[in-house]
Amino acid sequence: MTLILASQSAARRAMLSDAGVPHDAMAPGVDEDAAKQALRAEGNDARRMADALAELKALKLSRRFPEALVLGCDQTLAAVDGAMFDKPETRDEAAAQLRALRGTTHRLISAAVICLGGEPIWRHVDVAKLAMRDFSDGWLETYLDAEWPAIAGCVGGYRLEGLGAQLFARIDGSYFTVLGLPLLPLLDYLRVRGVLGS
């Protein structure tokens, strides 16, 4: 059975490929900004928003490819005060996000939903807690010089698989969840479905 990743995320494609998961990847064609606005207006928290966006992406492609397993994913970031952060669009926005997170612990919520025949058949939401160290403004500028614009597509303004690792004092949770995909539960499900050997 074919697995389609409803995403163009390089990190998610790499995780699946590195884990030996055969898949195709394509953009789901979802207006994420409009969906986020609607979900926020309904009062959804970060966990529910990640789950709903992952489902929306999977459903969109599943209707076009009803015989395939379609994997939708999303990740949200919730600060200690409950504020949610989006991907920074400018270097100044990335700096502001990182300053707001500096010296605090935040949560990354990664959701994955698989649809078949236009219906969700599996889902998993995982949470990682990240304690960001109290870095200096000078270090932040050096970091942004090295990482911008690569981090523009990264919620929170960092990539843990790069220089962003230096932002943190402690991480509780799965590395894969931090990268944006609850990979181990997904692999278990793909074995149950026969996509992967058991």
Our measurement of the distance from residue 71's CA atom to the centroid of its chain's CA atoms, rounded to an integer in Å, reads 13
Question: Could you state, in order of their start, the residue ranges of all structural domains in the chain?
Answer: 3-193
Q: Which residues contact 99 (CB under 8 A, 6 or more apart)?
A: 140
Looking at residue 82, its pLDDT comes to 86
The class that CATH gives domain 3-193 is: alpha beta
Whole-number percent of the chain with pLDDT over 90:
95
pLDDT digits (tens, 9 = 90+) for 42-54: 999 999 999 999 9
pLDDT digits (tens, 9 = 90+) for 29-72: 999 999 999 999 999 999 999 999 999 999 999 999 999 999 99
Report the predicted TM-score, pTM, of the whole model to 2 decimal places: 0.94
Nearest partner of 62 among 120, 103, 19, judged by Cα: 120
Pairwise CA distance, residues 51 & 111, whole Å: 5
Looking at residue 26, its pLDDT comes to 97
Nearest partner of 113 among 38, 7, 1, judged by Cα: 7
Asked whether residue 150 carries a pLDDT value surpassing 90, the answer given is yes
pLDDT digits (tens, 9 = 90+) for 158-173: 999 889 999 999 999 9
Phi, psi (deg, nearest 5) at residue 110: -115, 125
Whole-number percent of the chain with pLDDT over 70:
100
Q: Are 16 and 5 in contact (CB under 8 A)?
A: yes
Pairwise CA distance, residues 109 & 58, whole Å: 17
Asked whether residue 1 carries a pLDDT value surpassing 90, the answer given is no
pLDDT digits (tens, 9 = 90+) for 74-133: 999 999 888 999 999 999 999 999 999 999 999 999 999 999 999 999 999 999 999 999
Looking at residue 154, its pLDDT comes to 92
Q: Which residues are catalytically annotated?
A: 74
